[in-house]
Structures are given as C-alpha cells and as structure tokens.
Structure 1
C-alpha cells in the first residue's frame, strides 16, 4: 500500500495535480519577503527533465552592499518537514553574519515536495533543480537590483538530500563554487537503496574546491544498524574517492548526533568564512582565487577522535595523504579538533552590541548582528544596571546550543520568527535611559554596553 501511495503521489506531481492531495506550502506573515528579503516561486513542471515540484527561493541581501561578491546557499533536506523548514533559512541571523562579512547574498530554497514522493526529483540537480536555481538567480537579481547575482560564485551548504544536491552541483559546476559543506549527504555515484542512478562525473576542477563532509557518529559510525547507518559508508567512499585524487576535502564527525545538525554550524560557518576569505576576489566579477597551499593543515582520518592523528601543518604531516583530512588553516584545524571531540568550539570574542535601541509605548525594540563565531543565544534586558529579563525567556534547542531564533531539524530558525522586543510592565520606569540591552552569544560571552 505504501509503495502504491508513493507511486500515486509521484504521478500526481508529474501531472501537476499534487496540490489537490497536499495543501500548498504556506508562507507565514512573519516572513513575508520585504526588502532586504526577496522571493521568487516557480510551479512544478510535467515536462521531462524539468523540476517536478514547485519551489520558492528566498534571498537576503546585506543592507548597503553595492555589489555582491558571492552567494551562500543554505539547502534543506528531503521530506515535507525539511522542505518547509527551508522557508526560514534566509532569515537566520547567524548565517546572515557570514554573508555580510563577505558581501554575499544568503539564499534558502524551499522545494515543495509532498510527503512520500521521491526526493531525487529535486536533490539530483540534473532533474531540473539546477536549471530552476540558475533561473532564480537571474530573476532575483533583477528583483533586488543586483544583476551580478546571476554570475557570482557560490558557497553551498546542504543537509541530507541537500548534501546530495550541493555535491551534485559541485560535480556539474566546479568553476562557480568557492566551497561546499555536506551535512549527512554526499553526491551519489552508484545506487540509492538498490535503485540504479546515473553516476556523476568527477572533473579535475572539482578537486580544487574545498569540501567538508560532516555527519553524526550515530549515522553508521557507532550505530551501524539504525535508520541512517548508510550515511557513514557513503561519506567514507566519497571522501576516499576525492582525497585519493588530491581533493581539498575533510571529514568532521559529530560525536553527539545522528541525522540532526546539532552544533555543526559552529564549525561550518568559521570553515566557510576561512574559505571565502581566501577564495573570493576583491572585485565582483573576477575569477575565484586559488586556495593557498602553505596555510593548509592535515589530520589523520580516524573515527575515534581520541586516537586520531592530531592536526598539524601540511609540511609536517607524515601520514598517508590519501587518508588525510584537509583543513584550510591553523585556526580551523584547532576548531575542527575541538568539534570532533565534543563539538564545543571555543570562542573568546564577545558578540556585537545591539543598536538602535528604542522605547515606544512601553515596548523596547532593538537591532543586532549575530556573532560570526557563536551566533546569538539570547538578549538580556537591564534596568538601572540590574538584569530584569532575558529574550527569549527560556531559549531551547533540542539539537544543540540554545539559540535566539531556535532551530529546526535542517538548521533553520523556528517558526514563527522571534522578534527583538520586550514589553515593559506598566509599573516599571518607562524612560529609555533606564534600560540597556545586551547580546549573549552561544559561548556565553556578553556584548559591551551600546
């Protein structure tokens, strides 16, 4: 029955009638795309080779940027829940801090895949999602006033099926890609659950693109019989295939998780930051630079972090290169070493102070940028030097460090989006000079007074 239902759903999608069986993906009012956010949506197609599912692309452009130098794509995984979570990806303050640092746009696609249908219909970019993505760059470039969006290089982050997509795009367009982070998903070369697939061709250009494979230890490393036990063998085979040919590729095994993203962003964002700093040209439109060889560090591949060969400068590494983990520099090597041990990547810099603090009709509002290294855990509200509240009051995150916006399974903010505001009780003083708002990052560091 389940097989027949899945087949029926696929037929419905391909015939354009899926919306009759599944309500359309909604876009909550809290995330309507107003500048600096932009959105474009395309219907699915029944034509061979075109994208079967509808898809919406949301873009954030850093305010004040004159010309974009690149695009960071945050790609969700498979299934209806993961696809819906993509609706908030471009609103993530932590990922926005990375985009702003490098004058990049931040894009989050949301494929409207009905539950039970074949994820390969979108996560293999050759099935129409590559063409739809590139069309969106032209349309969103026109909509946002940044036509260079159609030609700037990409940094791709993908979770699960999003990792298949990001890795597939690496195989198809290595010359356009600055770096790729693959969380729990890699491009496919042989078969999926017994189904034959068209293999990707590995070009020499793809070997020059920095890649990090990131997965949870319960995805086949320590748990070899669970639902996600095949993730590690796929990652290991991909890594060995790439690294044996000299690819700039590493593996970071999360010691705490299964398929959820956990604390991976505290390594992913600094890693992408290092790659973008080294590779993006100063002027928009120029070719990507080459990764400097002299700064690279290497570590030995070992699933047991306690017994792994320690990371060291590449010039001093004496192990086999084919099984060595490539890391872009010393800073990232140290962060990687901590991540694979317990995921508690250190941070010694306080977050930026909130700005534009206002008090109108008893409500405090403010604006803030996330700390590039550690994001935002919460804000504290002080009255006359004494902390009276935190926003949110009980921040939670079932997948890792509590964060201000909360996190869904595919590493995107929870819905509805939380606002930067605090309502003052009528019995409390209502003069702006009595109040201070401070940001606290997920490493527990507090911002200076604004």
Structure 2
C-alpha cells in the first residue's frame, strides 16, 4: 500500500483550553489526575476533548480527539473510527464530523478519532499489543475523568477501521471481544491468522471489500482478508457479513451510508439499558431473528425461512439492514429517502434598512449529513449557505470529514428590505437533495 498524499482542505488548529483540576457536571465534582493533560474545545453540538498518550519506554504516542454531545447525561457507548496505514494525522476529523455527531447525539455515544503515531507506522500500531490497545483504554479513562463522564472507560464500543485500521479492528475483536457491540471493516488488510475467542462470535461484523479493485498485493491481501475472516467466523456461528462492491476500489466507497444503519440496528438490540451502561451489560443478539444474504445471487432471507446451511450466507441483524445491504452491494451506496431535520435556534437581526443578519443551528441528517441550507423570502429562494460548494462532505478514502476542522458558524447576512422581516425562513438540504420543512426566523 502506498502512502497517499493528502490535500488538506483545512488544517485543524487546536485552540484548546487546558482543563482545571476539578470538573463539575450533573451535580458531581471530580478530581482530574494532574498527569492527564486533557484539553477541550467547545463546539456548537458538544465538546471535543484531546489527549496525548505517550509510552514511557518508546518514542511511540497516540493522540485522541473525543467528541461528547451536549446534553448527554451518561455516555452509553463509544464509536471508535480507526484510520488506515499512512493516514496518521487525519483521525481527528471524525470528532468534528457533523454527520457522526448527529449519530452520536441520537444514541448517547462518544466519538473517538484516534491518531496513532508509532515508529515504523502501522507495522507497529496495527497490533493492539504494541500499545495501541492499552493507550485507548488509558485515554478513555483520562477523558472520562476530565469530562465528568467516568462511565466512558467501561462503555461498550462500536469499532470502525479502514485498511490497516481494519486489521486493527479485527485484532481488537480478538483482544477485547467482550467490550465490542459491533464492528465494521472497510477493506481490512494483512489477512490475520489468529483464532478468535468464543466471545468474538457474538459481535455483529460487516466487512466491505472491492474484490479485484481492492488493494490485493501480496503484502496487503484485502480480498483474502475479507473472505478468510468471513469463513473463519461464520463456520463457528459468528455474526458476520460481507458487502462486496466490485465497481469501487480500496479508497473509494460510501461506506458510512451502510455502516450507520448497520450500527443503529445493533444498538437497538444490544445497547445496555442498566444504570451503569457498562460493556458487561451488553445484550446478546438472537441470531435466529436476523436475516441471511447470499453474496452470489444477492437474495436475502429471514433466518428461519432459509432451507439451506445458514453458515454459507452472510448474517444481518434485521430486514431493514438486509434491504440496505442489497442496495449497497448493487449500487455502491444507500439512497436517503427521508428529509433532514429542520434547523432550530433561529434568530434575525436587522443591521440597516437592507441587511439582515441570520443565525441558526442544525443537526445533520443521520442518513446523509448536510449539503447546504436554503434561505427564503416567502416562497422565493434568495440565498444558499454556503453560497458555493457544500457545508460538509467526506473523503471516501478513509471516510474523513471535509473540512477537517471546525465548520463555519451558521450565520449569514442577506440583503432584503424591511418589509421582508416577517417572511424570512430557512431549510436544511441533505446530500441526496431532500429538503426539510421551512422554519421562520424570529427577531433577536
């Protein structure tokens, strides 16, 4: 695999504030360990914490950016989005990704964007035993203390990994299987040779690969990784599926459109509901209530209606995921058929007789994010925000948010006469061109 030269659309600037030794939330006061060095940045939808975990006996270190949604009293799970080989320095973008932030807000999740900086690159960090596993645990505990979310260290995980990060995800299933709610691998590499513990067979896993178009050199073996992992787990009753998209390649796939509904189905069935929300309280899936998918014919079946050997087919958590899986493997994407949520927190301020300042907030569409906003005077479209391009997109290679920093404030000035004050409204447009209802601005 070649290291990719990445065009940085935006450079992340860390305008973080160091945390004091005490934090308060929900009536609790917690002492932050003095060695934690946790920093934070408040964004419109929550708080992003940043910590560097160094290894005392080596030059290796890891940087973690962790998003916690505003208003979440208890973190119920942790979504860990692991970059691939040669993509060190890009992991932070996931914490700033408004699409994933909306997903996290809905389910009460924290988002972890790791950047693993190790000598010899992913040849070291792809194996959790090298330190990338323990450093994650350390980071979660440190940020849990600093944010007054001590439950973070025991919350169950959703794992996501691309290429070398996919290998890391499979290795985490071997080493930390009892902590994992579900896993999604985007073209995992290096064809692991280990056996998995019985606890790993309970983890719903989806593996996407691109067949001949994937990275299949002898030292990468993405196609073989997908097929061999599938057979190894499925033959033992593992809850694993393959999403084969032959018209794409190693670095080009709209995987989040498949991964998010897959995760949502599993979360609805496995997420702990107890007071503590620990991974120890995860519920087991009932595999007989799932669906099966034939990767050759693309037919899908209710588990209890299939007449053949279920171990030969992919296992999916329900009929909705089965339908989206079929769409994804045929078309390479999953179409969003519902409009996005409406903007909220709208204000307007007259600057002079022709200019009005508009501000608002908006949650991203969980299915397809935010493309832009439309501003209306009555029924007439008078402006788009941003004026050109899109509000946020993602790079299919690595699934990184673009821009890779804090997004522009939802604020603009429109030129309209005073007579239009009562007729100004706004809507959200998602990436499948579906538009929310219009919402009227209120005077500030």
Same fold (TM over 0.5): yes
Shift of 1:228: 9.4
Distance, in Å, in 1 between the alignment partners of 2:320 and 2:286 is 15
1:61 corresponding residue in structure 2: 68
- Cα-Cα RMSD: 2.7
Partner Cα separation in structure 2 for residue 29 and residue 135 of structure 1: 21
1:108 to 113, 125, 137: 113
Alignment CA distance shift 1:217-1:188 (3 Å): closer
Partner of 1:140: 143
Match in the other structure for 1:404:
391
* TM-score, L = length of structure 2: 0.81
- Post-superposition shift, 1:295? 2.5
1:113-262 map, 5 Å: 117-185=120-188, 188-190=191-193, 200-220=194-214, 230-262=221-253
Q: Is the 8 A contact 1:83 1:113 kept in 2?
A: no
1:413 correspondence with 2:420: no
Q: CA deviation at 1:218?
A: 4.8
Matched, 1:41 2:61: no
1:75 to 72, 82, 85: 82
**8 A Cα contact 1:57 1:107, kept in partner:** yes
CA contact (8 A) 1:39 1:140 kept: yes
Q: Is the 8 A contact 2:162 2:398 kept in 1?
A: yes
1:366 to 360, 363, 367: 360
CA deviation after TM superposition for structure 1 residue 144, in Å: 0.9
The answer to whether the 8 A contact 2:191-2:224 is kept is no
What is the alpha-carbon distance in structure 2 between the residues aligned to residue 254 and residue 267 of structure 1?
12
What is the SS of the residue equivalent to 1:83?
Answer: coil
Shift of the alpha carbon at 1:343? Answer: 2.6
Change over 3 Å in CA distance of 1:423–1:96 after alignment to 2: closer
User: Alpha-carbon deviation of 1:357?
Assistant: 1.9
Q: 1:204 to 1:43 in 2, by over 3 A?
A: closer
| CA positional deviation for 1:441 | 1.6
- Deviation, 1:94, is 1.4
User: Per-residue CA shift, 1:118-155, capped at 9, x if unaligned?
Assistant: 31211211100111000001100011110000111111
Between 87-96 and 174-183, report the one with greater CA deviation: 87-96
| C-alpha distance in 2 between matches for 1:367 and 1:425 | 17
**Contact preservation (8 Å) 2:78, 2:156:** yes
C-alpha deviation, 1:311, in angstroms: 0.7
Match of 2:27 in 1: none
Per-residue deviation at 1:426? 5.1
The residue matched to 2:159 in structure 1 has which SS?
strand
Structure 1: 5+ residue runs without aligned partners? 1-5, 7-25, 191-199, 303-307, 396-402
Is residue 164–residue 190 contact of structure 2 (8 Å, CA) maintained in 1? no
In structure 2, C-alpha distance between the alignment counterparts of 1:427 and 1:101, rounded to whole Å: 37
Task: Specify which structure has the higher proportion of strand.
Answer: 2
1:338 aligned counterpart, secondary structure? helix
TM-score (norm 1): 0.80
For residues 283-322 of structure 1, the aligned pairs below 5 Å read: 283=274, 284-285=277-278, 287-302=281-296, 308-322=297-311
CA separation of 1:425 and 1:349: change in aligned 2, threshold 3 A: closer
**Distance change in 2, residues 1:394/1:355 (3 Å):** same
Whole-Å separation in 1 of the counterparts to 2:416 and 2:364 = 32
Shift in CA distance, 294/201, structure 1 to aligned 2, threshold 3 Å: closer
Tell me which residue corresponds to 1:282: 273
Paired with 1:214 and 1:27, the residues of 2 have a C-alpha distance of: 29
Kept in 1: contact 2:167–2:192 (CA 8 A): no
Structure 2 contact 241–314 (Cα < 8 Å) conserved: yes
Task: Confirm whether residue 324 of structure 1 aligns to residue 313 of structure 2.
Answer: yes
